[in-house]
Copies of this chain bind each other. A is one copy, B any other.
Amino acid sequence: MNVTDVEVLDSNDPLAKYRDEFHLPENTIYLDGNSLGALPKRVKQRVKEVTEQQWGNDLISSWNQHNWVNLPQQVGEKIAPIIGASEGQVICCDSISVNLFKLLSAALSFNGTNSRNKVISSHDNFPTDLYIAQGLQGLLGEQRCQFVDVQEDNLLRSIDDSTAVVMVTEVNFRSGKRLDIKSLTERAHQHGALIIVDLAHSAGAMPVHLDNWNVDMAVGCTYKYLNGGPGAPAFVYVNNALQNKLQQPITGWFGHQNPFAFNPQYQPKSGIKQFLAGTPSIISMSAIDAALELFDDLDLQTVRKKSVTLTTLFDDLINQYGLNDQLQRLSPASAEERGSQLSYSFAYAYELCQALIDRGVIADYRAPHFIRFGFAPLYNSYKDVWSAVEQIRNVMQTDAYKESRYAERLAVT
Protein backbone atom coordinates (compact mmCIF):
# COMPACT_ATOMS: atom_id res chain seq x y z
CA MET A 1 0.00 0.00 0.00
CA ASN A 2 1.48 3.36 -1.02
CA VAL A 3 0.25 6.92 -1.26
CA THR A 4 -1.02 6.44 -4.81
CA ASP A 5 -3.24 3.55 -3.76
CA VAL A 6 -4.65 5.79 -1.04
CA GLU A 7 -5.36 8.59 -3.47
CA VAL A 8 -7.27 6.14 -5.65
CA LEU A 9 -9.43 5.20 -2.66
CA ASP A 10 -10.25 8.87 -2.15
CA SER A 11 -11.05 9.50 -5.78
CA ASN A 12 -13.51 6.58 -5.75
CA ASP A 13 -15.11 7.53 -2.42
CA PRO A 14 -18.86 8.12 -2.82
CA LEU A 15 -18.84 10.12 0.44
CA ALA A 16 -15.96 12.42 -0.56
CA LYS A 17 -18.35 15.28 -1.28
CA TYR A 18 -19.39 15.43 2.38
CA ARG A 19 -15.99 16.65 3.51
CA ASP A 20 -16.75 20.06 2.12
CA GLU A 21 -19.82 20.26 4.35
CA PHE A 22 -17.53 20.56 7.38
CA HIS A 23 -15.38 23.28 8.79
CA LEU A 24 -12.04 21.52 9.29
CA PRO A 25 -9.08 23.45 10.70
CA GLU A 26 -6.04 23.73 8.47
CA ASN A 27 -2.98 21.54 8.98
CA THR A 28 -4.94 19.21 11.20
CA ILE A 29 -5.87 15.57 10.79
CA TYR A 30 -8.79 15.07 13.09
CA LEU A 31 -9.17 11.49 14.26
CA ASP A 32 -11.28 12.28 17.27
CA GLY A 33 -14.76 12.56 15.81
CA ASN A 34 -15.75 9.71 18.14
CA SER A 35 -15.22 12.11 21.01
CA LEU A 36 -16.46 15.38 19.46
CA GLY A 37 -17.65 15.51 15.84
CA ALA A 38 -16.42 18.34 13.61
CA LEU A 39 -18.50 21.47 12.92
CA PRO A 40 -20.82 21.21 9.93
CA LYS A 41 -20.80 24.51 8.04
CA ARG A 42 -24.58 24.65 8.02
CA VAL A 43 -24.59 24.58 11.83
CA LYS A 44 -22.74 27.91 11.95
CA GLN A 45 -25.54 29.48 9.96
CA ARG A 46 -28.29 27.87 12.01
CA VAL A 47 -26.81 28.85 15.36
CA LYS A 48 -26.50 32.43 14.18
CA GLU A 49 -30.07 32.43 12.91
CA VAL A 50 -31.51 30.91 16.09
CA THR A 51 -29.58 33.29 18.32
CA GLU A 52 -29.93 36.52 16.41
CA GLN A 53 -33.19 36.19 14.49
CA GLN A 54 -35.29 33.77 16.51
CA TRP A 55 -34.26 34.67 20.03
CA GLY A 56 -33.10 38.22 19.33
CA ASN A 57 -36.01 39.43 17.16
CA ASP A 58 -38.88 37.07 17.67
CA LEU A 59 -38.27 36.40 21.35
CA ILE A 60 -40.94 34.44 23.19
CA SER A 61 -43.09 34.02 20.08
CA SER A 62 -40.43 31.70 18.65
CA TRP A 63 -41.78 28.86 20.76
CA ASN A 64 -44.62 28.74 18.25
CA GLN A 65 -43.38 30.73 15.28
CA HIS A 66 -40.16 28.73 14.91
CA ASN A 67 -41.63 25.62 16.45
CA TRP A 68 -39.15 25.46 19.32
CA VAL A 69 -41.81 23.64 21.28
CA ASN A 70 -41.58 20.64 18.94
CA LEU A 71 -37.83 20.69 18.45
CA PRO A 72 -37.18 17.65 20.71
CA GLN A 73 -39.60 15.63 18.62
CA GLN A 74 -38.44 17.02 15.28
CA VAL A 75 -34.81 16.17 16.09
CA GLY A 76 -35.92 12.75 17.37
CA GLU A 77 -37.62 11.98 14.08
CA LYS A 78 -34.45 12.90 12.20
CA ILE A 79 -32.43 10.52 14.38
CA ALA A 80 -34.99 7.70 14.08
CA PRO A 81 -34.01 6.38 10.61
CA ILE A 82 -30.33 6.55 11.58
CA ILE A 83 -30.93 4.02 14.35
CA GLY A 84 -33.50 1.86 12.60
CA ALA A 85 -36.56 3.23 14.39
CA SER A 86 -39.92 3.91 12.83
CA GLU A 87 -41.85 7.07 13.69
CA GLY A 88 -42.85 8.14 17.19
CA GLN A 89 -40.15 6.35 19.15
CA VAL A 90 -37.24 8.78 19.43
CA ILE A 91 -36.93 12.13 21.17
CA CYS A 92 -34.02 14.49 21.84
CA CYS A 93 -33.47 15.69 25.39
CA ASP A 94 -31.10 15.97 28.36
CA SER A 95 -27.85 13.99 28.58
CA ILE A 96 -27.21 10.26 28.26
CA SER A 97 -26.75 10.11 32.04
CA VAL A 98 -30.13 11.69 32.80
CA ASN A 99 -31.86 9.66 30.09
CA LEU A 100 -30.42 6.40 31.37
CA PHE A 101 -31.70 7.28 34.81
CA LYS A 102 -35.20 7.79 33.38
CA LEU A 103 -35.18 4.56 31.39
CA LEU A 104 -33.61 2.39 34.04
CA SER A 105 -36.02 3.64 36.71
CA ALA A 106 -39.00 3.16 34.41
CA ALA A 107 -37.83 -0.33 33.41
CA LEU A 108 -37.33 -1.42 37.01
CA SER A 109 -40.67 -0.01 38.14
CA PHE A 110 -42.39 -1.89 35.33
CA ASN A 111 -40.43 -5.13 35.21
CA GLY A 112 -38.84 -5.49 38.63
CA THR A 113 -39.95 -7.78 41.46
CA ASN A 114 -38.23 -9.02 44.60
CA SER A 115 -36.89 -12.00 42.69
CA ARG A 116 -36.24 -10.08 39.47
CA ASN A 117 -34.21 -7.12 40.59
CA LYS A 118 -30.88 -7.38 38.76
CA VAL A 119 -29.45 -4.82 36.39
CA ILE A 120 -26.74 -6.50 34.34
CA SER A 121 -24.01 -4.59 32.56
CA SER A 122 -20.41 -5.15 31.57
CA HIS A 123 -17.60 -4.00 33.80
CA ASP A 124 -16.06 -2.26 30.80
CA ASN A 125 -19.19 -0.33 29.83
CA PHE A 126 -18.78 3.43 29.62
CA PRO A 127 -18.51 4.54 33.25
CA THR A 128 -21.46 6.96 33.29
CA ASP A 129 -23.74 4.02 32.46
CA LEU A 130 -22.37 2.07 35.41
CA TYR A 131 -22.55 5.10 37.69
CA ILE A 132 -26.21 5.72 36.88
CA ALA A 133 -27.09 2.13 37.82
CA GLN A 134 -25.09 2.52 41.03
CA GLY A 135 -26.85 5.81 41.82
CA LEU A 136 -30.25 4.25 41.28
CA GLN A 137 -29.30 1.28 43.46
CA GLY A 138 -28.33 3.78 46.16
CA LEU A 139 -31.71 5.49 45.90
CA LEU A 140 -33.94 2.41 45.60
CA GLY A 141 -31.98 -0.06 47.70
CA GLU A 142 -30.65 -3.47 46.67
CA GLN A 143 -34.00 -5.15 47.05
CA ARG A 144 -35.33 -3.21 44.09
CA CYS A 145 -32.14 -2.63 42.13
CA GLN A 146 -29.19 -4.95 42.39
CA PHE A 147 -26.50 -3.83 40.01
CA VAL A 148 -24.19 -6.55 38.66
CA ASP A 149 -21.32 -5.89 36.29
CA VAL A 150 -19.66 -8.79 34.53
CA GLN A 151 -16.91 -9.26 31.99
CA GLU A 152 -18.08 -8.37 28.49
CA ASP A 153 -17.60 -11.95 27.29
CA ASN A 154 -19.84 -13.23 30.08
CA LEU A 155 -22.74 -10.88 29.40
CA LEU A 156 -24.90 -13.27 27.44
CA ARG A 157 -24.66 -16.14 29.91
CA SER A 158 -25.19 -13.86 32.91
CA ILE A 159 -28.75 -13.05 31.87
CA ASP A 160 -31.23 -15.22 33.75
CA ASP A 161 -34.67 -15.09 35.34
CA SER A 162 -33.45 -12.79 38.08
CA THR A 163 -32.50 -10.17 35.50
CA ALA A 164 -34.85 -7.18 35.29
CA VAL A 165 -32.78 -5.09 32.88
CA VAL A 166 -29.76 -5.63 30.65
CA MET A 167 -27.93 -2.38 30.04
CA VAL A 168 -25.20 -2.40 27.40
CA THR A 169 -23.34 -0.16 24.99
CA GLU A 170 -23.14 -1.46 21.44
CA VAL A 171 -19.61 -0.23 20.72
CA ASN A 172 -17.16 -0.19 23.59
CA PHE A 173 -15.74 3.30 24.15
CA ARG A 174 -12.25 1.99 24.86
CA SER A 175 -11.71 -1.07 22.64
CA GLY A 176 -14.24 -0.28 19.91
CA LYS A 177 -15.54 -3.84 20.16
CA ARG A 178 -19.13 -4.27 18.96
CA LEU A 179 -21.59 -6.34 20.94
CA ASP A 180 -24.20 -8.50 19.24
CA ILE A 181 -27.28 -6.57 20.32
CA LYS A 182 -29.67 -8.87 18.52
CA SER A 183 -28.51 -11.92 20.47
CA LEU A 184 -28.43 -10.04 23.77
CA THR A 185 -31.97 -8.81 23.16
CA GLU A 186 -33.20 -12.30 22.34
CA ARG A 187 -31.61 -13.72 25.44
CA ALA A 188 -32.97 -10.91 27.62
CA HIS A 189 -36.48 -11.46 26.30
CA GLN A 190 -36.26 -15.23 26.70
CA HIS A 191 -35.68 -14.58 30.39
CA GLY A 192 -38.31 -11.86 30.76
CA ALA A 193 -35.75 -9.07 31.03
CA LEU A 194 -35.76 -5.71 29.25
CA ILE A 195 -32.77 -4.32 27.39
CA ILE A 196 -31.44 -0.76 27.26
CA VAL A 197 -28.79 -0.06 24.61
CA ASP A 198 -26.38 2.88 24.61
CA LEU A 199 -25.63 3.93 21.03
CA ALA A 200 -23.08 6.66 21.81
CA HIS A 201 -20.44 5.17 19.50
CA SER A 202 -22.85 3.70 16.94
CA ALA A 203 -25.34 6.38 15.88
CA GLY A 204 -24.22 7.90 12.62
CA ALA A 205 -21.22 5.61 12.15
CA MET A 206 -22.99 2.43 11.09
CA PRO A 207 -26.48 1.05 10.52
CA VAL A 208 -28.38 0.26 13.71
CA HIS A 209 -31.60 -1.75 13.64
CA LEU A 210 -33.42 -1.10 16.91
CA ASP A 211 -36.87 -2.03 15.60
CA ASN A 212 -35.68 -5.13 13.79
CA TRP A 213 -33.62 -6.28 16.75
CA ASN A 214 -36.68 -5.73 18.93
CA VAL A 215 -34.71 -3.59 21.39
CA ASP A 216 -36.79 -2.17 24.24
CA MET A 217 -35.05 1.09 24.94
CA ALA A 218 -31.97 2.99 23.87
CA VAL A 219 -30.07 6.19 24.51
CA GLY A 220 -27.40 7.89 22.49
CA CYS A 221 -25.28 10.89 22.01
CA THR A 222 -25.45 13.52 19.27
CA TYR A 223 -22.02 15.08 19.63
CA LYS A 224 -19.92 12.27 18.23
CA TYR A 225 -20.75 10.91 14.76
CA LEU A 226 -23.89 13.07 14.51
CA ASN A 227 -21.84 16.28 14.85
CA GLY A 228 -24.29 18.17 17.06
CA GLY A 229 -21.66 20.14 18.99
CA PRO A 230 -20.02 19.94 22.42
CA GLY A 231 -22.35 18.50 25.03
CA ALA A 232 -25.31 18.59 22.63
CA PRO A 233 -28.49 17.03 24.07
CA ALA A 234 -28.82 13.26 23.83
CA PHE A 235 -31.68 11.09 22.61
CA VAL A 236 -34.04 8.44 23.95
CA TYR A 237 -35.64 5.57 22.05
CA VAL A 238 -38.53 3.60 23.56
CA ASN A 239 -40.15 0.83 21.57
CA ASN A 240 -43.79 1.53 20.72
CA ALA A 241 -44.86 -1.68 22.43
CA LEU A 242 -43.60 -0.41 25.77
CA GLN A 243 -44.18 3.33 25.66
CA ASN A 244 -47.48 3.52 27.45
CA LYS A 245 -46.60 0.82 29.95
CA LEU A 246 -43.67 2.77 31.31
CA GLN A 247 -43.67 5.79 33.57
CA GLN A 248 -40.38 7.61 33.93
CA PRO A 249 -39.89 9.42 37.24
CA ILE A 250 -38.36 12.77 36.20
CA THR A 251 -41.78 14.14 35.43
CA GLY A 252 -41.02 17.66 34.29
CA TRP A 253 -43.53 19.96 32.65
CA PHE A 254 -42.39 19.28 29.08
CA GLY A 255 -43.54 15.68 29.53
CA HIS A 256 -46.99 16.78 30.68
CA GLN A 257 -50.01 16.13 28.49
CA ASN A 258 -50.76 19.82 28.40
CA PRO A 259 -47.96 21.85 29.97
CA PHE A 260 -49.56 25.19 29.24
CA ALA A 261 -52.70 24.38 31.18
CA PHE A 262 -50.50 24.62 34.31
CA ASN A 263 -52.50 21.90 35.98
CA PRO A 264 -51.04 20.98 39.39
CA GLN A 265 -51.48 17.24 38.75
CA TYR A 266 -49.01 15.48 36.44
CA GLN A 267 -50.48 13.63 33.50
CA PRO A 268 -47.90 12.19 31.11
CA LYS A 269 -48.07 12.91 27.42
CA SER A 270 -48.83 9.78 25.48
CA GLY A 271 -46.03 8.11 23.57
CA ILE A 272 -42.38 9.05 23.47
CA LYS A 273 -42.98 12.66 24.60
CA GLN A 274 -43.46 11.64 28.24
CA PHE A 275 -39.70 11.08 28.30
CA LEU A 276 -39.13 14.83 28.17
CA ALA A 277 -38.48 16.55 31.49
CA GLY A 278 -37.59 20.26 31.62
CA THR A 279 -37.34 23.04 29.05
CA PRO A 280 -34.94 22.04 26.23
CA SER A 281 -31.76 24.00 25.45
CA ILE A 282 -32.90 25.50 22.16
CA ILE A 283 -29.60 26.83 20.84
CA SER A 284 -27.77 23.53 21.37
CA MET A 285 -30.70 21.50 20.07
CA SER A 286 -30.98 23.65 16.94
CA ALA A 287 -27.33 22.93 16.18
CA ILE A 288 -28.09 19.21 16.10
CA ASP A 289 -31.18 19.77 14.04
CA ALA A 290 -29.07 21.43 11.36
CA ALA A 291 -26.26 18.87 11.62
CA LEU A 292 -28.72 16.05 11.02
CA GLU A 293 -29.63 17.45 7.61
CA LEU A 294 -26.42 15.81 6.41
CA PHE A 295 -28.02 12.44 7.05
CA ASP A 296 -30.94 13.05 4.69
CA ASP A 297 -30.65 10.55 1.87
CA LEU A 298 -27.43 9.17 3.31
CA ASP A 299 -27.03 5.41 3.05
CA LEU A 300 -25.59 4.13 6.32
CA GLN A 301 -24.34 0.98 4.59
CA THR A 302 -22.10 3.23 2.51
CA VAL A 303 -20.98 5.01 5.68
CA ARG A 304 -20.18 1.71 7.34
CA LYS A 305 -18.34 0.41 4.28
CA LYS A 306 -16.08 3.45 4.28
CA SER A 307 -15.60 3.17 8.03
CA VAL A 308 -14.44 -0.43 7.64
CA THR A 309 -12.06 0.52 4.84
CA LEU A 310 -10.66 3.42 6.89
CA THR A 311 -9.95 1.35 9.99
CA THR A 312 -8.56 -1.51 7.90
CA LEU A 313 -6.24 0.83 6.02
CA PHE A 314 -5.00 2.38 9.25
CA ASP A 315 -4.29 -0.92 10.90
CA ASP A 316 -2.69 -2.35 7.76
CA LEU A 317 -0.33 0.62 7.58
CA ILE A 318 0.59 0.25 11.26
CA ASN A 319 1.49 -3.35 10.48
CA GLN A 320 3.20 -2.54 7.19
CA TYR A 321 5.63 -0.27 9.03
CA GLY A 322 6.15 -2.72 11.86
CA LEU A 323 4.67 -0.30 14.37
CA ASN A 324 2.53 -3.10 15.74
CA ASP A 325 5.54 -4.33 17.72
CA GLN A 326 4.96 -1.44 20.07
CA LEU A 327 1.36 -0.42 19.41
CA GLN A 328 -0.66 -3.45 20.39
CA ARG A 329 -4.14 -3.35 18.95
CA LEU A 330 -6.79 -3.53 21.66
CA SER A 331 -9.62 -3.41 19.11
CA PRO A 332 -10.79 -6.63 17.46
CA ALA A 333 -8.75 -7.81 14.46
CA SER A 334 -11.83 -8.12 12.29
CA ALA A 335 -13.24 -4.80 11.14
CA GLU A 336 -16.72 -6.29 11.27
CA GLU A 337 -16.40 -6.78 15.00
CA ARG A 338 -15.49 -3.22 15.80
CA GLY A 339 -16.97 0.25 15.55
CA SER A 340 -15.43 3.17 13.70
CA GLN A 341 -12.34 3.39 15.88
CA LEU A 342 -9.07 1.67 16.65
CA SER A 343 -7.38 1.58 20.01
CA TYR A 344 -3.86 0.52 20.80
CA SER A 345 -2.15 -0.29 24.01
CA PHE A 346 1.24 1.37 24.47
CA ALA A 347 3.11 2.20 27.65
CA TYR A 348 3.65 5.77 26.40
CA ALA A 349 0.17 6.20 24.95
CA TYR A 350 -0.33 9.50 26.73
CA GLU A 351 2.97 10.94 25.56
CA LEU A 352 2.44 9.66 22.02
CA CYS A 353 -0.93 11.35 21.94
CA GLN A 354 0.63 14.66 22.98
CA ALA A 355 3.45 14.36 20.46
CA LEU A 356 0.91 13.72 17.69
CA ILE A 357 -1.17 16.73 18.70
CA ASP A 358 1.96 18.84 18.27
CA ARG A 359 2.20 17.47 14.74
CA GLY A 360 -1.44 18.21 13.91
CA VAL A 361 -2.80 14.69 14.39
CA ILE A 362 -5.63 14.69 16.92
CA ALA A 363 -6.40 11.35 18.58
CA ASP A 364 -7.18 10.73 22.20
CA TYR A 365 -5.73 9.07 25.20
CA ARG A 366 -7.71 6.78 27.45
CA ALA A 367 -6.35 5.77 30.84
CA PRO A 368 -4.29 3.89 31.74
CA HIS A 369 -2.30 3.34 28.51
CA PHE A 370 -4.45 3.43 25.39
CA ILE A 371 -4.43 5.66 22.36
CA ARG A 372 -7.68 5.83 20.45
CA PHE A 373 -8.20 6.86 16.83
CA GLY A 374 -11.71 7.63 15.58
CA PHE A 375 -12.67 7.65 11.91
CA ALA A 376 -15.57 9.78 10.77
CA PRO A 377 -16.59 8.59 7.29
CA LEU A 378 -18.26 11.88 6.43
CA TYR A 379 -15.14 13.99 6.70
CA ASN A 380 -12.10 11.77 7.13
CA SER A 381 -10.30 10.87 3.91
CA TYR A 382 -8.06 7.92 3.21
CA LYS A 383 -5.28 10.45 2.81
CA ASP A 384 -5.93 11.53 6.40
CA VAL A 385 -5.21 7.98 7.45
CA TRP A 386 -2.05 7.83 5.39
CA SER A 387 -0.75 11.14 6.73
CA ALA A 388 -1.59 10.27 10.32
CA VAL A 389 0.33 6.99 10.11
CA GLU A 390 3.26 8.85 8.56
CA GLN A 391 3.35 11.10 11.63
CA ILE A 392 3.02 8.20 14.03
CA ARG A 393 5.86 6.43 12.27
CA ASN A 394 8.00 9.52 12.51
CA VAL A 395 7.29 10.02 16.23
CA MET A 396 7.84 6.34 17.02
CA GLN A 397 11.00 5.93 15.01
CA THR A 398 12.62 9.02 16.51
CA ASP A 399 11.37 8.29 20.04
CA ALA A 400 10.03 11.85 20.00
CA TYR A 401 7.28 10.89 22.43
CA LYS A 402 9.93 10.46 25.11
CA GLU A 403 10.61 14.19 25.26
CA SER A 404 9.87 15.25 28.80
CA ARG A 405 7.45 18.01 27.76
CA TYR A 406 4.94 15.43 26.61
CA ALA A 407 4.79 13.60 29.91
CA GLU A 408 4.19 16.79 31.83
CA ARG A 409 0.90 17.85 30.26
CA LEU A 410 -2.31 17.31 32.11
CA ALA A 411 -4.72 14.82 30.60
CA VAL A 412 -8.32 15.96 30.41
CA THR A 413 -10.56 15.01 27.50
Interface assignment of A322: CB less than 8 Å from any CB of chain B? no
Bound-state Cα–Cα, A140 to B143, Å:
13
Interface assignment of A44: CB less than 8 Å from any CB of chain B? yes
Interface assignment of A413: CB less than 8 Å from any CB of chain B? yes
List of B residues within 8 angstroms of A109 by Cβ:
138-139
Interface string of A24-63 (1 = CB under 8 A from B): 0100101010011011000110011001101111111111
**CB distance A232 to B52 under 8 Å?**
no
Interface assignment of A107: CB less than 8 Å from any CB of chain B? no
Bound-state Cα–Cα, A127 to B234, Å:
25
Interface assignment of A16: CB less than 8 Å from any CB of chain B? no
Q: How far is the CB of A350 from chain B (nearest CB, A)?
A: 11
Interface string of A362-392 (1 = CB under 8 A from B): 1010110000000000000000000000000
**CB distance A250 to B101 under 8 Å?**
yes
Please give the count of copies of this chain that the complex contains.
Answer: 2
Bound-state Cα–Cα, A261 to B370, Å:
12
**CB distance B249 to A135 under 8 Å?**
yes
- Known contacts: A95-B278, A234-B278. The answer to whether A134 contacts B253 by CB under 8 A is no
Interface assignment of A411: CB less than 8 Å from any CB of chain B? yes
Pick the residue among B55, B125, B287 that contacts A39 (CB under 8 A): B55
A interface size (C-beta, 8 A) = 97
Pick the residue among B48, B234, B264, B413 that contacts A130 (CB under 8 A): B264
**CB distance B278 to A96 under 8 Å?**
yes
Of the listed stretches A223-231, A307-315, A400-408, name the one at the interface; the rest are far from the partner chain.
A223-231
Q: How far is the CB of A201 from chain B (nearest CB, A)?
A: 14
Bound-state Cα–Cα, A282 to B285, Å:
11
Q: Which of A205-251 contact B (CB under 8 A)?
A: 223, 229-234, 247-251
**CB distance B264 to A123 under 8 Å?**
yes
**CB distance A98 to B94 under 8 Å?**
yes
**CB distance A59 to B43 under 8 Å?**
no
10 CB contacts below 8 A, A to B, read A32-B60, A44-B56, A64-B412, A97-B277, A127-B264, A132-B251, A134-B265, A135-B250, A135-B251, A230-B279
Given A64-B410, A135-B248; 15 other pairs, CB 8 A cutoff? A25-B56, A51-B287, A63-B412, A101-B249, A109-B138, A130-B266, A132-B250, A135-B249, A139-B249, A223-B279, A229-B283, A230-B283, A231-B285, A260-B411, A281-B281
